Every structure is written in C-alpha cells, then in structure tokens.
Structure 1
Amino acid sequence: MTRLAVDPISALEERGFDIQYLSHAKSILFGEFGEQVHELAAVLSALSLPMTEIIGSGGGETKFTQRTRKSLDARGWKKHNFVVAKSIDGLEREATSHEVDHVRTVPGVGTIGCEIEWNNKDPFFDRDLENFKRLHADGAISVGIIITRGSSLQSKMMELVRRFASERNIVNFAWLAAAGVEPTPKQRAHISDRANRAKDPIDFAEAWTSNFVSNKFGAATTHWEKLQARVSRGVGNPCPLLLIGIPASIVVFDNATVEQLDEENSPSE
C-alpha cells in the first residue's frame, strides 16, 4: 500500500479547520489509510458554502451537505448498513444494524466510518459516537470520523448573517421577501415584537438576524463545542476517532436569490 508523506489534515488545520484525534486515530489513519486520508482531505479542502445556502437552509438536507456527500461517494465513501448478528450453536438469536452514511473499506486493511452532522439536533452526536463504539468493539470499523460545523463558523454565524442583511438592505419583511426569505408566522411575530416594541426597540435587521440564527443554528444543534462536550466525558471511547470542524472561511458571499426550503422551524442536515 502506498504511504503518502504529506499530512493533508495539518494543511486543513492551517486553514482554520478544527481537528482532533482520539485513541490513536492519527497513527491508525496515517499508518494504514494514507490514501483514504488524502481522499477525505481533497473533499474538505474543496468545500465552498454560499451565504445564500445558509440563509435558505430549511427542513431538508442542504445543498452544501448534498455536494459533500456526493463528493465523498464519488471517491468510494459509500453508505453502508452494518448488520451484527449473534448466534448460539449456529442458530441466530439476535441481530442489530448500524447504518453509517460514508464507509471506506480497504481490503485486507480495515474500514473507516464517517458521519456528517452539519446542522442536526445535538443528540445525533450521541448516536454516532455510540454506533462507532459498538462497531469498533465488534471489529467492523478501525476508525470513526465525524464532520460538523467548526467553532469559528458557529461563533461567527451572527456576524455572517448580519453582513447578509446589510448587503441585501434588509430593513423590513418586504425586503426579506425580495431576497427570497419568508419567515414563518411565529418568526414574523417574534421579529415584529422586538423591532416595534415601545421600550428599547432594536433595528429590524438585528431582530431578524438574532431570530434566524437562534432558530437555525442555536446552541442545541450539532457543532464543534457540542461534539467536544461528548468526547470529553468519554462518549464513543475507546473507538479511535477523527473529529473535524468546518471553519467560517469556507463561506462565500454570493448575489443569488435565496432558495428557501419548506421547513418546520427545526434544524436539519
């Protein structure tokens, strides 16, 4: 097997990606899966996220996530359903299944499992980490990888949305509609209450920005700090893990009209 000397993950870290290895994952990945690490890094280094896709994210899987998945799939990182069966005297007594969105197997070497949690409810981290733990214990995977929103992207989300509002001259609901954004009735009421209250009203753009970020990318969604909280208390241990946080630097400001998806005011990938 070809072993590549360059560390493409360090190159990602230099670009602002959050990177963490746990339980000797680095040694395993670079010792046994060098080519596959380069495949993953190639996908991540090419990531670009138009601001209009952040604003338009709704109740379905985002275009950004779809592009990332397709790029991984094209390199052989396919969805796979692991079925673990237990038998007594040749008779199957129990079987469990664990679906992983991206799996890369190298014959004679081992298997990597990878999950993308771009913007889901944060308990999905518990599911992913426990799945990886069980699959590793059963010998099904060598390493688990989780990709999520990085610390810089989460911390700068308010700033990014404010910039969008400023550049699109968002001063009322009509201008929001012109940009392709249609808040739900509940969101409209909350924005109006803050912008039009008699005491200490705030700027419309600020009211919308705050409401949008709290609804779409709030503290209870999947992002780097929530993932850190899990692994720091041992969730997923002792499965070797590579954790990757996507940085704010991949966001680009475009002039497209927002294509807003139908939603139920809940985060999704």
Structure 2
Amino acid sequence: MFEDLAERGFQIEFHSHATAILSVDFPDAIGELGAALGALSIPIEEIIGSGGGETKGTQRLRRALAELGWHKVNFTIEKRINGVQRESISHEVDHVRTFPDGRVIALEIEWNNKDPFFDRDLENFKRLHAEGAISVGVIVTRGSSLQDDMVQLVRRFATERGLESGEDLGSLGLTPTPRQKADVARRMRAGGATFADAWSLSFVKDKYGAATTHWRKLEDRVHRGVGNPCPLLLIGLPSTIVTFDEHLDVGAIAEGEEEQEILAEPTPLPPVTQP
C-alpha cells in the first residue's frame, strides 16, 4: 500500500488498524490519494515566495483532491433529550471523501501551521470516529527529510540566484522585515557566514521553525495517544517534491499575483444525533 510513494521518500504510517480498514474498505481512496500525492511537486520559488504560508503546491494538492471528490465538510454532532436539542458541536474538515454506501474518510493537510493544530485535527478525528461519522483520519504534513533539508534547499536557491545582499533580495521582489534583516546581519558578524548562508538559516528558522507542523511534531502526539483509538494514516511529504527547474517569478508569488486557490464552502452533513 502506497509503495510507489514510499520509494520516493514519502513517510507513511498506519495506526489503530488503519491498514486493514483502508485495504478492505477504501481501495478507491488509496488509489486517489496515491495519484494526487504522486503528482505533487513544489518549485523552490513557491516555498520562498509564500513566506511560510501555504504554497501553491499544497493548493494544487487541495484542488486535485477536490476534483476527486474530497470536499470540505461540516460535521455536526447533536445531543437530544426527548427530541429537544440540548447540545450541538460542529467539526469542520477540509477534505472528506464520502462513498455511495456511506463509508467516510477524513483528511487534513498541515503544511505550515503552529503545531497545536495537530491536537485539533487528532481530537476532531477521535470524536468523529467515536460517533461513527468517519472510519479513518488522514493527516498530510512536511516529512522529516523536507524539514531537515529545508535550509539546504533554500541555500541552493540563494546560491543559484547569486544572492549576496538585501538588495539582491529586493530585486527578486522579496522584502525582509527589519527584524529579519538584523538577524541576517547578526549571523554574518558572529560566524563569518556568507549572505546566502545567513539568509537561508534565518529564513527557515523564521518561517519553518521547530514549533510548526511537521512530521516529528505529529509523530510525538500520536505516540502519546492523541487521537487514539481513531484509525490514522499519517503521510510525510519528502524533500524530493521540491524542484529547481521552473525559474518562476518569486516576486509575483510573494505578491499573490497568481491565482489563489480557494476551497469551496463546506458542505454540511446531516447531524449525528446522540440519543
């Protein structure tokens, strides 16, 4: 299952019998996820130009999933006593695949949020699974290799573009804040680093730091039991999805001049009612 992705460096983990459930009940979902993720690539310019926000690559992944029927959904859980509603809780999930026979699988993409978003996703999945609303929860995030190689990837971009000063960044349409400029200058003074080295380290620390959503933060929570006993599929995006051949306009990406992907309004499902 997902052998092609694993060969490309994707991290794949199954928890709480997710392997058996997916292989028996969701073969179509396996194929759809494999196709969408297998086609994913993110030009380095999108990582730089997005400034740590969601890249256009992850927006393309969202669009690919939506085209395959993975839509945003609002789940509502209601508690009623003698037919009178006493409590109502809603859970919004960005990508939900509902099959004609009622089978449901839910997926969240956490490219670069604050890491407590993992707690929210896992607890949502746990509650929805306990109420019988979903069979499996899926989380896609930056894998270990992508997190570990991020400085190297950004440094390669800086070297290939010949970045040697803040003015060079400006010529690309990038405008570091005064704090970011000061951090680069400090790194250059303290260790004699080149501008490319100092800026790469500063950029990654500022935009893709340890407290953001990436594989180790997700793995830590799951191993502590967060989300248990909901069956889970965890997918880590590898550094091999980052490409350097497109030579895109970083400034245009930073300014958001290219079309932004907007998820459709969530579809409300009939409420799950507790007696």
TM-score (norm 1): 0.91
Aligned to 1:106: 99
Aligned counterparts of 1:178 and 1:252: Cα–Cα separation in 2: 22
- Give the conservation status (yes or no) of the 8 Å contact 1:32–1:109: no
Deviation at 1:202, TM superposition (A): 2.0
Aligned counterparts of 1:256 and 1:68: Cα–Cα separation in 2: 19
Deviation at 1:261, TM superposition (A): 4.6
Aligned residues: 253
Unpaired segments of 5 or more residues in structure 2? 257-275
Q: How does 1:73-88 map to 2 (within 5 A)?
A: 73-88=66-81
Pair 1:255-2:253 in alignment: no
Structure 2 letter corresponding to 1:223: H
Deviation at 1:174, TM superposition (A): 1.2
Correspondence for 1:115 among 98, 108, 111: 108
Q: CA RMSD in A?
A: 1.3
Correspondence for 2:150 among 141, 157, 163: 157
Other structure's SS at 2:77 match: strand
Aligned counterparts of 2:102 and 2:24: Cα–Cα separation in 1: 10
- Give the conservation status (yes or no) of the 8 Å contact 2:54–2:112: no
Deviation at 1:109, TM superposition (A): 4.6
Structure 1 letter corresponding to 2:103: G
Deviation at 1:162, TM superposition (A): 0.8
249-258 or 164-173, which moves further after superposition?
249-258
Aligned counterparts of 1:172 and 1:58: Cα–Cα separation in 2: 18
Residue identity over aligned pairs, in percent, reads: 58
TM-score (norm 2): 0.89
Correspondence for 1:140 among 129, 133, 155: 133
- Give the conservation status (yes or no) of the 8 Å contact 2:76–2:90: yes
Aligned to 2:36: 43
Aligned to 1:265: none
Aligned counterparts of 2:29 and 2:210: Cα–Cα separation in 1: 32
Structure 2 letter corresponding to 1:38: G
- Give the conservation status (yes or no) of the 8 Å contact 1:59–1:261: no
Pair 1:207-2:198 in alignment: yes
Aligned counterparts of 1:215 and 1:206: Cα–Cα separation in 2: 14
201-210 or 157-166, which moves further after superposition?
201-210
1:55-99: CA deviation from partner (whole Å, max 9, x where unpaired)? 011375321221111110000000000000000011110000000
Structure 2 letter corresponding to 1:232: H
Pair 1:174-2:153 in alignment: no
Pair 1:62-2:78 in alignment: no
> Using a 3 Å threshold, how does the CA distance of structure 1 residues 118 and 19 change in structure 2: closer, same or farther?
same
